[in-house]
Structure 1
Amino acid sequence: MPSREEFGSWLTGRGVPRDETSGTDSLGLPTSGPGSPARIGRRVVALVVDWAAAGAISYAFFSYDAGATLAIFFAMNLLLVSTVGTTLGHRLLGLQVRRLGVEGPHLVGFGRGAIRAVLVCLVIPAVVWDTDGRGLHDKAAGTVIVRR
């Protein structure tokens, strides 16, 4: 069985190191303003908006079938995050999904978007996050949710 030490800082609860001179966090992102990591509250509200939109579409076409709702939610996440970097909820709350550590355009792309969408639909990876505030779905896809 793995020990707590093998998981490193993910479980130790240490604070996020910040570079006081540049105003960046351990991910190299600004600590506030546009481009800074999104807080959990906005992310949860965006998720609720996205699920409500998927539910409304499911209700309109399938009399609210749970499987159809999940499929619509998956398709919305895959297509919107992969192409424009935001879901409906992200857009309404001023958030954007970006590739981490990439200069220039931050487009997520289809492959990373697919990994992220599958893991968001599995729920557990999305509700477990590290000290940087990134869920396991974002870590696996190499993405981060930031403020626009």
Structure 2
Amino acid sequence: MTTTATVPVPPATDPTFTPPSLGRRFGALIIDWVLCLLISNFFGGPAQHPWAPVLVLILEYAFFLGLFAQTPGMYVTKIRCLAWSDGGRIGLVRALLRGVLLALVVPALLMDGHRRGLHDRLTGAVIADAPRPARAGS
């Protein structure tokens, strides 16, 4: 049996690209933020160190987006962060920069027609659907 791998079309050149809803993006952010609050409690909590959850969020984004193209919240809401130009991962450096820009909040509110916030455009990223592979026997 021969299988033919199809190469995904990069979002920048895909005329049918439709970004996920803002609700799914916001849901992913809420899940990630709750995780960051829980993790930052190991450092004394937000009351003692108000920047701890923000720092954890930036590091979470750098690690998970850079290596896996999804944060835990994105996994749950079935979205992922890809490179706009080629559809691949954005890598650790761009993921770190994206996390810093996202922490500033305002860049995320300035979106284009593909729902790419300023933080996405500056890092060459886009949020896209993350289809799950079919399970064996399904």
Give the aligned residue type for 2:55: A
Give the aligned residue type for 1:141: T
Corresponding position of 1:132: 114
Deviation at residue 115 of structure 1 after TM alignment? 1.8
User: Retained in 1: the 8 A contact 2:45–2:52?
Assistant: no
1:31/1:40 Cα in 2 relative to 1: closer, same or farther (>3 Å)? farther
Q: Distance in 1 between matches of 2:71 and 2:58?
A: 11
Q: Distance in 2 between matches of 1:30 and 1:55?
A: 39
1:43/1:30 Cα in 2 relative to 1: closer, same or farther (>3 Å)? farther
Q: Distance in 1 between matches of 2:40 and 2:117?
A: 27
Give the aligned residue type for 1:139: R
Deviation at residue 31 of structure 1 after TM alignment? 3.8
Residue correspondence of structure 1 range 20-31 to structure 2 within 5 A: 27-29=12-14, 31=16
Residue correspondence of structure 1 range 1-148 to structure 2 within 5 A: 27-29=12-14, 31=16, 36-64=18-46, 65-102=49-86, 106-148=88-130
Deviation per residue, 1:65-92 (Å, 9 max, x gap) = 3211111111101111111101111011
Deviation at residue 111 of structure 1 after TM alignment? 2.1
Q: Distance in 2 between matches of 1:110 and 1:29?
A: 25
- Name stretches of at least 5 consecutive residues in structure 2 with no aligned partner: 1-8, 131-138
Deviation per residue, 1:77-133 (Å, 9 max, x gap) = 111111110111101100110001216xx1111221122111001110012211221
Alpha-carbon RMSD across the aligned residues, in angstroms, is: 2.0
Deviation at residue 46 of structure 1 after TM alignment? 0.5
Q: Distance in 2 between matches of 1:92 and 1:30?
A: 27
Deviation at residue 60 of structure 1 after TM alignment? 4.0
Deviation at residue 30 of structure 1 after TM alignment? 6.4
1:87/1:93 Cα in 2 relative to 1: closer, same or farther (>3 Å)? same
Q: Distance in 2 between matches of 1:89 and 1:62?
A: 23
Deviation at residue 29 of structure 1 after TM alignment? 3.5
Deviation at residue 136 of structure 1 after TM alignment? 0.5
Identity across the alignment (%) = 29
TM-score between the two structures when normalised by the length of structure 1:
0.73
* 130-139 or 59-68, which deviates more: 59-68
